[in-house]
Amino acid sequence: MAEAVWIWTVAACVKALLIPAYRSTDFEVHRHWLALTSSVPLRSWYSDTSAPSCSLDYPPLFAYFQRALALPATALGLRPDGLLRLSSSSPASATLPVLLYLRLSVIATDLVLLLAAAHLTRRRIPLSRRRLILVLLLWSPALLIVDHIHFQYNGYLLGILLLSLSLLEEGKDLAGGLAFAVLICSKHLFLVAAPLYFVYLLRHYCRGGLWKASRRLLTMGAVVGAVFAASFGPFLYYGQMQQVFSRLFPFGRGLCHAYWAPNFWVFYIVLDKVLSFMLAKLGFHIPAPKASFTGGLVGNSSQFAVLPQVTPLITFLLVLLAMSPCLIKAFQKPQPKHLIRWVAYAFTCGFMFGWHVHEKASLHFTIPLAIISMNSLDDARHYFLLSIVSCYSMFPLLFESQEYPIKVLLLAIYAILMWIGFSSYFGVGAATGGSKTDDSSGSDRKQEFLGKNGLLYLLGLMGVELWGQLLHPYIFGSRFPFVPLMLISMYCAVGMMYSWAWQLRQIVKCT
């Protein structure tokens, strides 16, 4: 615990220094929600249109959380400073007290992550492993970038997820299910893992004789139902459910975000572009799609020129299909020790094939995978690559030159710490007799640890970054500004595809 607190405190100081850094429009969105929930009656939280770009689109529990966050602000008398004003303004113009309040609230709610990490590592696991897990979880650069620069509240949400996983691993199924219900009602993007949770809890918790099983099923149903009732109940009472759901699931948004998340659909789009280009060269008449992917607008509904259209239903079925191996495994043999791997895989499927996925969603599986990254050398290798790719895919979120050294340094420090941690953890573990291998042979072991392909892939990553930062502006100037972004998406998508396939193979083979 002492070391967990220490590691968290170091991170908290870094986060405090990030307060004046760049913040995205999400900052203003969250500020607006604070104002909305504290000044508008509950019945119109989801139908309020005072700031169309910042309308509430998280589930009610998160809205309650925002309401609770506004309470100390009113006590501190921050209302005149514009924290709780309804009209939208640019995030850059936030006054210092507002900025401090919101940034510090993110840092403070990260205590949930600390709690979860401490809970995860309180069991009897070797010191070195515990320390490595804490470092991997609490110093995740991707989380720092998304939460403390870009501005979101993923730290505490992921803390709840980890808490749930930790509880389930200990066999406390009811508490784990409760935590997951809370999580879904706070951010519905976590819904992807719900089928897996359902199958696992059904098979692992609701067992025994018919009487016992059905009693447990009812208990679990009551607990989860209570959470849902508490969060959605008031809106059901006011007849707002339709409105809530239309906000939570805006399918009109299109298959991909403005900046393509590095997933399967990147290849699909690129294939479509290549095919249409080639067919046009061959003399076919190809009608140009109405909306282009590189236009950068969130709202456009995408069109393909050659390949069949993709609808939300197709993506939904694809996700389920991709997830089916772990569902089957969980149904056949619901073992707590494989749970984290399954859940992470479920989130990976959602990320790879889902509808309108954000690059930030890769946090949902990289963070849990950190816990099991020390199970084997292969796991460590996979996590090393995956966490770098996941963090790198978030680099475009911070596009200003002021934050450039920060994101690079955050990733570099994390990579070195992973490298130190994994190589010493496995370097000695592999050597029989436990003799310490010489640290000076670091470069040799790097080859060994990463493998040739991994090293080449990382070098390519640097090449992509070099192209985007230096060569592209040098050669093309300000023309084709989307090309570096597309390159990053595509290159990271290769890594993500590999990660997905590797996880799938691991699940089929080992669990």
Partner 1 sequence: MAKKTRTRGLAATPSATAAEGGDATFPWSTTNLTAPTAVAVALFALLVRVLVSLAPYSGQGTPPMYGDYEAQRHWMEITLHTPTAEWYRNTTANDLSYWGLDYPPLTAYQSLAHALLINVSLPQSVALSSSRGFESHESKLMMRWTVLSSDLLVFFPAAIYFVWVYFQRQVGVHGEERSAPWLLAMILLNPCLILIDHGHFQYNCISLGLTLGAIAAVLSRNDFAASILFSLAINHKQMSLYFAPAFFSHLLGKCLKRENPIFEVMKLGFAVIGTFAVVWWPYLHSIESAMEVLHRLAPFERGVFEDYVANFWCSTSLVIKWKKIFTIHSMKLLSLITTVFAFLPSFFQQLRAPSDEGFLFSLLNNSFSFYLFSYQVHEKSILLPLLPASLLALQEPTLCGWLMYCGLLSMYPLICRDRLLLQYGAVIGIFLTIFYSPQGKHVKGANRFSTQQKALMALGLICSVALHLVYLAFEPPKRYPFLFEALIVLFCFSQFVGFTFYTNAKQWLPLDHSSSMRIKKDL
- Residues forming contacts to partner 1 in the complex (CB under 8 A) are 1-3, 6, 9-10, 12-14, 16-21, 100, 124-132, 135, 401-402, 405-406, 409-410, 412-413, 416-417, 419-421, 424-429, 434, 439-440, 442
If you compute the radius of gyration of the chain from its CA atoms, what whole number of angstroms results?
23
Question: What is the closest distance, in whole angstroms, from the C-beta atom of residue 374 to partner 1 in the complex?
Answer: 9
Read off the tokens for 499.
């990660």
CB-wise, 150 or 329, nearer to partner 1? 150
Question: What is the closest distance, in whole angstroms, from the C-beta atom of residue 285 to partner 1 in the complex?
Answer: 48
CB-wise, 14 or 483, nearer to partner 1? 14
3-class DSSP state of 47 = coil
CB-wise, 434 or 477, nearer to partner 1? 434
Backbone dihedral angles phi then psi of residue 201, each to the nearest 5 degrees: -65, -35
Task: Provide the strand spans (E) within 71-166.
Answer: none
* Contact present, 398 and 150 (Cβ < 8 Å): yes
Question: What is the closest distance, in whole angstroms, from the C-beta atom of residue 305 to partner 1 in the complex?
Answer: 41
CB-wise, 48 or 403, nearer to partner 1? 403
Print burial letters for 410-419: b (CB count within 10 Å at least 16), e (below 16): bbeebbeebb
CB-wise, 153 or 422, nearer to partner 1? 422
Question: What is the closest distance, in whole angstroms, from the C-beta atom of residue 389 to partner 1 in the complex?
Answer: 20
Question: What is the closest distance, in whole angstroms, from the C-beta atom of residue 134 to partner 1 in the complex?
Answer: 10
Question: What is the closest distance, in whole angstroms, from the C-beta atom of residue 3 to partner 1 in the complex?
Answer: 5
Read off the tokens for 184.
């879904």
Q: CA angle, corner 298, sides to 295 and 299, nearest 5? A: 105
Strand partners, 221: none
Residue type, 29: V
171 conformational bin, left if phi > 0, alpha if psi -120 to 50, beta if neither: left
Distance, CA of 450 to CA of 456 (rounded, Å): 9
End-to-end C-alpha distance for the chain, whole angstroms: 31
Distance, CA of 466 to CA of 288 (rounded, Å): 32
Distance, CA of 124 to CA of 326 (rounded, Å): 28
Largest CA distance in the chain: 72
Distance, CA of 153 to CA of 233 (rounded, Å): 24
3-class DSSP state of 256 = strand
The per-residue DSSP string of 193-242 comes to GHHHHHHHHHHHTS-SSHHHHHHHHHHHHHHHHHHHHHHHHHHHHTT-HH
Print burial letters for 264-292: b (CB count within 10 Å at least 16), e (below 16): bbbebbbebbeebeeeeeeeeeeeebeee
CB-wise, 100 or 202, nearer to partner 1? 100
CB-wise, 126 or 299, nearer to partner 1? 126
Question: What is the closest distance, in whole angstroms, from the C-beta atom of residue 260 to partner 1 in the complex?
Answer: 29
CB-wise, 18 or 319, nearer to partner 1? 18
Distance (Å) of CA 250 to CA 41, 222, 235, 244: 23, 29, 18, 10
CB-wise, 124 or 285, nearer to partner 1? 124
CB-wise, 332 or 376, nearer to partner 1? 376
CB-wise, 75 or 127, nearer to partner 1? 127
Query: Within 13 A of 247's CA, how many CA atoms are on the CB side?
Result: 23
| H helix or E strand, kind and range, residue 259 | none
CB-wise, 10 or 241, nearer to partner 1? 10
* Contact present, 478 and 309 (Cβ < 8 Å): no
Distance, CA of 297 to CA of 222 (rounded, Å): 42
Question: What is the closest distance, in whole angstroms, from the C-beta atom of residue 137 to partner 1 in the complex?
Answer: 14
Question: What is the closest distance, in whole angstroms, from the C-beta atom of residue 401 to partner 1 in the complex?
Answer: 6
Strand partners, 357: 256
CB-wise, 17 or 241, nearer to partner 1? 17
Question: What is the closest distance, in whole angstroms, from the C-beta atom of residue 17 to partner 1 in the complex?
Answer: 4
Question: What is the closest distance, in whole angstroms, from the C-beta atom of residue 156 to partner 1 in the complex?
Answer: 21
Read off the tokens for 463.
């090449």
Strand partners, 256: 357
Question: What is the closest distance, in whole angstroms, from the C-beta atom of residue 417 to partner 1 in the complex?
Answer: 6
Question: What is the closest distance, in whole angstroms, from the C-beta atom of residue 427 to partner 1 in the complex?
Answer: 7
